Amino acid sequence: MTRVTEWVSGLGHVVNEKIARLGFAARFFVMLLVYSGQSFRRFPLTIREIYFSGVLSLLIILVSGLFVGLVLGLQGYETLQRYGSADALGVLVALSLTRELGPVVAALLFASRAGSSVTAEIGLMKATEQLTAMDMMAVNPMARVVAPRFWGGVISMPLLAAMFSAMGVFGGYLIGVVFIGVDDGAFWSQMQSSVDFRQDIINGVIKSFVFGVAVSLIAVFEGYDSTPTAEGVSRAITRTVVTSALAILALDFVLTSFMFRGL
Protein backbone atom coordinates (compact mmCIF):
# COMPACT_ATOMS: atom_id res chain seq x y z
CA MET A 1 0.00 0.00 0.00
CA THR A 2 2.67 2.48 1.02
CA ARG A 3 4.68 1.37 -1.95
CA VAL A 4 1.84 2.28 -4.28
CA THR A 5 1.39 5.73 -2.76
CA GLU A 6 5.15 6.21 -2.89
CA TRP A 7 5.16 5.25 -6.54
CA VAL A 8 2.28 7.57 -7.35
CA SER A 9 3.79 10.50 -5.52
CA GLY A 10 7.13 9.76 -7.20
CA LEU A 11 5.40 9.83 -10.56
CA GLY A 12 3.69 13.07 -9.67
CA HIS A 13 7.03 14.53 -8.72
CA VAL A 14 8.60 13.54 -12.03
CA VAL A 15 5.68 14.95 -14.01
CA ASN A 16 5.87 18.17 -12.00
CA GLU A 17 9.54 18.48 -12.72
CA LYS A 18 9.07 17.91 -16.45
CA ILE A 19 6.35 20.51 -16.67
CA ALA A 20 8.42 23.02 -14.72
CA ARG A 21 11.29 22.37 -17.12
CA LEU A 22 9.00 22.91 -20.07
CA GLY A 23 7.90 26.19 -18.55
CA PHE A 24 11.51 27.20 -18.07
CA ALA A 25 12.24 26.25 -21.68
CA ALA A 26 9.43 28.51 -22.87
CA ARG A 27 10.69 31.40 -20.75
CA PHE A 28 14.19 30.70 -22.04
CA PHE A 29 12.98 30.89 -25.65
CA VAL A 30 11.30 34.24 -25.04
CA MET A 31 14.45 35.58 -23.37
CA LEU A 32 16.50 34.28 -26.27
CA LEU A 33 14.34 36.19 -28.74
CA VAL A 34 14.45 39.32 -26.60
CA TYR A 35 18.25 39.34 -26.50
CA SER A 36 18.66 38.35 -30.14
CA GLY A 37 18.51 42.01 -31.14
CA GLN A 38 21.60 42.73 -29.06
CA SER A 39 23.40 39.76 -30.52
CA PHE A 40 22.72 40.86 -34.09
CA ARG A 41 24.52 44.09 -33.39
CA ARG A 42 27.61 41.92 -32.99
CA PHE A 43 27.05 39.89 -36.10
CA PRO A 44 30.63 38.53 -36.28
CA LEU A 45 29.69 36.35 -33.30
CA THR A 46 26.91 34.75 -35.33
CA ILE A 47 29.20 34.38 -38.34
CA ARG A 48 31.62 32.50 -36.12
CA GLU A 49 28.83 30.14 -35.10
CA ILE A 50 27.75 29.63 -38.71
CA TYR A 51 31.31 28.52 -39.28
CA PHE A 52 31.20 26.05 -36.41
CA SER A 53 27.73 24.63 -37.06
CA GLY A 54 27.49 25.06 -40.80
CA VAL A 55 30.87 24.96 -42.46
CA LEU A 56 32.19 22.20 -40.23
CA SER A 57 29.08 20.08 -40.95
CA LEU A 58 29.55 20.45 -44.71
CA LEU A 59 31.60 17.33 -45.24
CA ILE A 60 29.28 14.92 -43.47
CA ILE A 61 26.22 16.51 -45.10
CA LEU A 62 27.61 16.37 -48.63
CA VAL A 63 28.93 12.84 -48.33
CA SER A 64 25.72 11.53 -46.73
CA GLY A 65 23.61 13.34 -49.33
CA LEU A 66 25.58 11.74 -52.12
CA PHE A 67 25.21 8.26 -50.66
CA VAL A 68 21.51 8.66 -49.95
CA GLY A 69 21.08 9.77 -53.58
CA LEU A 70 23.06 6.79 -54.85
CA VAL A 71 20.98 4.36 -52.83
CA LEU A 72 17.72 6.03 -53.89
CA GLY A 73 18.87 5.78 -57.50
CA LEU A 74 19.66 2.10 -57.24
CA GLN A 75 16.61 1.05 -55.27
CA GLY A 76 14.29 3.31 -57.21
CA TYR A 77 15.52 1.97 -60.51
CA GLU A 78 15.08 -1.64 -59.37
CA THR A 79 11.45 -0.99 -58.54
CA LEU A 80 10.52 1.38 -61.35
CA GLN A 81 11.95 -0.69 -64.17
CA ARG A 82 9.65 -3.58 -63.20
CA TYR A 83 6.75 -1.37 -64.26
CA GLY A 84 8.56 -0.03 -67.24
CA SER A 85 8.76 3.47 -65.90
CA ALA A 86 12.46 3.85 -65.25
CA ASP A 87 12.18 7.30 -66.82
CA ALA A 88 10.44 8.43 -63.67
CA LEU A 89 13.59 7.78 -61.64
CA GLY A 90 14.39 11.48 -61.51
CA VAL A 91 10.94 12.21 -60.10
CA LEU A 92 11.29 9.60 -57.40
CA VAL A 93 14.74 10.72 -56.33
CA ALA A 94 13.93 14.42 -56.40
CA LEU A 95 10.59 14.19 -54.61
CA SER A 96 11.88 11.92 -51.84
CA LEU A 97 14.79 14.24 -51.26
CA THR A 98 13.14 17.62 -51.44
CA ARG A 99 10.05 16.66 -49.49
CA GLU A 100 11.38 14.33 -46.83
CA LEU A 101 14.88 12.96 -46.82
CA GLY A 102 16.71 16.21 -47.42
CA PRO A 103 15.25 18.14 -44.48
CA VAL A 104 14.89 15.18 -42.13
CA VAL A 105 18.20 13.39 -42.62
CA ALA A 106 20.15 16.64 -42.82
CA ALA A 107 18.52 17.77 -39.55
CA LEU A 108 19.32 14.47 -37.83
CA LEU A 109 22.93 14.73 -38.93
CA PHE A 110 23.01 18.38 -37.92
CA ALA A 111 21.69 17.54 -34.45
CA SER A 112 24.39 14.99 -33.82
CA ARG A 113 27.21 16.92 -35.45
CA ALA A 114 26.54 20.54 -34.52
CA GLY A 115 23.79 20.40 -31.87
CA SER A 116 25.78 18.15 -29.56
CA SER A 117 28.85 20.35 -29.76
CA VAL A 118 26.82 23.47 -29.03
CA THR A 119 25.40 21.79 -25.93
CA ALA A 120 28.84 20.65 -24.85
CA GLU A 121 30.32 24.10 -25.32
CA ILE A 122 27.62 25.98 -23.42
CA GLY A 123 27.49 23.29 -20.72
CA LEU A 124 31.24 23.47 -20.17
CA MET A 125 31.19 27.25 -20.16
CA LYS A 126 28.58 27.04 -17.44
CA ALA A 127 30.49 24.39 -15.49
CA THR A 128 33.67 26.45 -15.53
CA GLU A 129 31.79 29.59 -14.46
CA GLN A 130 32.49 31.38 -17.73
CA LEU A 131 28.83 32.31 -18.08
CA THR A 132 28.75 33.68 -14.54
CA ALA A 133 31.97 35.59 -15.16
CA MET A 134 30.48 37.13 -18.28
CA ASP A 135 27.35 38.08 -16.39
CA MET A 136 29.50 39.68 -13.66
CA MET A 137 31.24 41.71 -16.35
CA ALA A 138 27.84 43.11 -17.29
CA VAL A 139 27.82 41.16 -20.53
CA ASN A 140 24.68 39.16 -21.02
CA PRO A 141 25.53 35.52 -21.77
CA MET A 142 22.14 35.15 -23.40
CA ALA A 143 23.05 37.78 -25.99
CA ARG A 144 26.72 36.89 -26.39
CA VAL A 145 26.81 33.11 -26.06
CA VAL A 146 23.35 31.62 -26.47
CA ALA A 147 21.73 33.77 -29.16
CA PRO A 148 24.63 33.64 -31.68
CA ARG A 149 24.75 29.85 -31.41
CA PHE A 150 21.00 29.62 -31.86
CA TRP A 151 20.91 31.86 -34.93
CA GLY A 152 24.03 30.28 -36.38
CA GLY A 153 22.18 26.98 -36.34
CA VAL A 154 18.93 28.44 -37.68
CA ILE A 155 20.75 30.02 -40.62
CA SER A 156 22.91 26.99 -41.38
CA MET A 157 20.20 24.36 -41.32
CA PRO A 158 18.17 25.25 -44.47
CA LEU A 159 21.39 25.74 -46.44
CA LEU A 160 22.70 22.38 -45.33
CA ALA A 161 19.40 20.68 -46.17
CA ALA A 162 19.41 22.26 -49.65
CA MET A 163 22.96 21.05 -50.22
CA PHE A 164 21.99 17.61 -49.01
CA SER A 165 19.08 17.44 -51.48
CA ALA A 166 21.12 18.83 -54.35
CA MET A 167 23.89 16.35 -53.66
CA GLY A 168 21.33 13.55 -53.44
CA VAL A 169 19.81 14.45 -56.81
CA PHE A 170 23.30 14.44 -58.23
CA GLY A 171 23.86 10.98 -56.69
CA GLY A 172 20.63 9.71 -58.24
CA TYR A 173 21.70 11.17 -61.59
CA LEU A 174 25.09 9.50 -61.28
CA ILE A 175 23.60 6.06 -60.67
CA GLY A 176 20.58 6.38 -62.96
CA VAL A 177 21.95 8.19 -65.97
CA VAL A 178 25.69 7.69 -65.87
CA PHE A 179 25.92 4.10 -64.66
CA ILE A 180 22.59 2.46 -65.52
CA GLY A 181 21.80 4.43 -68.63
CA VAL A 182 18.38 5.95 -67.98
CA ASP A 183 17.71 8.56 -70.64
CA ASP A 184 19.27 11.86 -69.65
CA GLY A 185 16.50 14.05 -71.08
CA ALA A 186 13.70 11.99 -69.56
CA PHE A 187 15.40 12.01 -66.17
CA TRP A 188 15.48 15.80 -65.97
CA SER A 189 12.30 16.68 -67.85
CA GLN A 190 10.08 14.28 -65.91
CA MET A 191 11.62 15.55 -62.73
CA GLN A 192 10.96 19.16 -63.68
CA SER A 193 7.39 18.54 -64.69
CA SER A 194 6.53 16.77 -61.42
CA VAL A 195 8.54 18.67 -58.84
CA ASP A 196 6.68 21.83 -58.05
CA PHE A 197 8.60 24.84 -56.86
CA ARG A 198 6.09 25.98 -54.27
CA GLN A 199 4.67 22.65 -53.20
CA ASP A 200 7.89 20.70 -52.96
CA ILE A 201 10.93 22.92 -52.87
CA ILE A 202 9.57 25.75 -50.73
CA ASN A 203 7.82 23.35 -48.36
CA GLY A 204 11.09 21.46 -47.99
CA VAL A 205 12.88 24.68 -47.13
CA ILE A 206 10.18 25.56 -44.60
CA LYS A 207 10.62 22.15 -43.03
CA SER A 208 14.35 22.50 -42.73
CA PHE A 209 13.94 25.96 -41.22
CA VAL A 210 11.55 24.61 -38.59
CA PHE A 211 13.93 21.75 -37.82
CA GLY A 212 16.78 24.25 -37.58
CA VAL A 213 14.86 26.27 -34.98
CA ALA A 214 13.92 23.13 -33.03
CA VAL A 215 17.39 21.56 -33.00
CA SER A 216 19.18 24.82 -32.20
CA LEU A 217 16.76 25.65 -29.42
CA ILE A 218 17.10 22.20 -27.88
CA ALA A 219 20.89 22.35 -28.14
CA VAL A 220 21.32 25.75 -26.51
CA PHE A 221 18.69 25.03 -23.87
CA GLU A 222 20.17 21.70 -22.83
CA GLY A 223 23.59 23.32 -22.56
CA TYR A 224 22.30 26.27 -20.57
CA ASP A 225 20.21 24.09 -18.29
CA SER A 226 22.83 21.36 -17.78
CA THR A 227 24.07 20.41 -14.34
CA PRO A 228 27.51 22.05 -14.15
CA THR A 229 29.55 18.88 -13.80
CA ALA A 230 31.26 16.54 -16.26
CA GLU A 231 28.49 14.01 -15.84
CA GLY A 232 25.78 16.64 -16.15
CA VAL A 233 27.22 17.96 -19.40
CA SER A 234 27.53 14.51 -20.90
CA ARG A 235 23.93 13.76 -19.99
CA ALA A 236 22.86 17.05 -21.55
CA ILE A 237 24.60 16.11 -24.80
CA THR A 238 22.79 12.80 -24.91
CA ARG A 239 19.50 14.55 -24.26
CA THR A 240 20.18 17.01 -27.07
CA VAL A 241 20.66 14.24 -29.62
CA VAL A 242 17.71 12.14 -28.43
CA THR A 243 15.26 15.01 -27.98
CA SER A 244 16.27 16.55 -31.29
CA ALA A 245 15.71 13.31 -33.16
CA LEU A 246 12.27 12.87 -31.61
CA ALA A 247 11.37 16.49 -32.24
CA ILE A 248 12.47 16.31 -35.87
CA LEU A 249 10.45 13.19 -36.59
CA ALA A 250 7.35 14.41 -34.76
CA LEU A 251 7.50 17.85 -36.38
CA ASP A 252 8.02 16.23 -39.74
CA PHE A 253 4.83 14.26 -39.31
CA VAL A 254 2.88 17.35 -38.31
CA LEU A 255 4.29 19.51 -41.10
CA THR A 256 3.81 16.83 -43.72
CA SER A 257 0.19 16.35 -42.78
CA PHE A 258 -0.36 20.10 -43.16
CA MET A 259 1.61 20.62 -46.34
CA PHE A 260 0.86 17.63 -48.48
CA ARG A 261 -2.73 16.97 -47.53
CA GLY A 262 -4.85 16.16 -50.55
CA LEU A 263 -1.98 15.72 -52.91
Partner 1 sequence: MNRKLLDLWVGFFVAFGIAALLFLALKVGNLSSANFSETYALQAKFDNIGGLKVRAPVKSAGVAVGRVGEIRFDPQTYEAVVTINVDARYHFPKDTFASILTSGLLGEQYVGLDVGGDEKLLQAGDVIAKTQSAVVLEKLISQFLFSKASDGPDKK
Partner 2 sequence: MSDSGSLVKISGLNFSYDERPVLRGIDMDIPRGKVIAIMGGSGCGKTTLLRLIGGQLKPTHGEVQVAGHAVDRMGHDELYALRRRMGMLFQFGALFTDMSVFDNVAYPLREHTSLSEELIRDITLMKLSAVGLRGAEALMPGALSGGMARRVALARAIALDPLLIMYDEPFTGLDPISLGVIGQLIRRLNDALGATSIMVTHDIHESLAIVDYIYFMSGGRVVAQGTPDEIRASKDPFVHQFVYAEADGPVPFHYPAPPFGKELLGKGAV
> 224 CB contacts (<8 Å, ≥6 apart)?
28, 122, 126, 131, 146
Which residue in 195, 219, 245, 248 binds partner 1 (CB under 8 A)? 195
Q: Which does 188 bind (CB under 5 to 8 A by kind): partner 2, partner 1, none?
A: partner 1
Which residue in 38, 196, 232, 234 binds partner 1 (CB under 8 A)? 196
Q: Establish if 140 lies at the interface with partner 2 (CB under 8 A).
A: yes
Contact at 8 Å (CB) between 203 and 103? Answer: no
Q: Which does 165 bind (CB under 5 to 8 A by kind): partner 1, partner 2, none?
A: partner 1
Distances (CA, A) of 60 to 8, 106, 171, 236: 46, 9, 15, 23
Q: Which does 234 bind (CB under 5 to 8 A by kind): partner 2, partner 1, none?
A: none
Distances (CA, A) of 72 to 65, 87, 94, 117, 187: 10, 14, 10, 30, 14
Stretch that binds partner 2, among 79-87, 138-146, 227-235, 253-261 (CB under 8 A): 138-146
Stretch that binds partner 2, among 101-109, 124-132, 213-221, 237-245 (CB under 8 A): 124-132
Which residue in 25, 62, 74, 124 binds partner 2 (CB under 8 A)? 124
The residue type at 196: D
Q: Establish if 45 lies at the interface with partner 1 (CB under 8 A).
A: no
Q: Which of 63, 253, 61 shows the shortest CA–CA distance to 157?
A: 61
Q: Establish if 36 lies at the interface with partner 2 (CB under 8 A).
A: no
Q: Which does 125 bind (CB under 5 to 8 A by kind): partner 2, partner 1, none?
A: partner 2
- 44 versus 262: smaller Cβ distance to partner 2: 44
Q: Which of 185, 248, 186 shows the shortest CA–CA distance to 216?
A: 248
Contact at 8 Å (CB) between 221 and 25? Answer: yes
Q: Establish if 132 lies at the interface with partner 2 (CB under 8 A).
A: yes
- Residue 68 CB, nearest approach to partner 1 (Å): 15
Site for partner 1 in 130-189 (CB under 8 A): 156, 158-160, 162-163, 165-167, 169, 188
List interacting residues with partner 2 (CB under 8 A). Answer: 121, 124-125, 128-130, 132-140
List interacting residues with partner 1 (CB under 8 A). Answer: 44, 47-48, 50-51, 54-55, 58, 83-85, 88, 94, 98, 156, 158-160, 162-163, 165-167, 169, 188, 191-197, 199-201, 204-205, 263
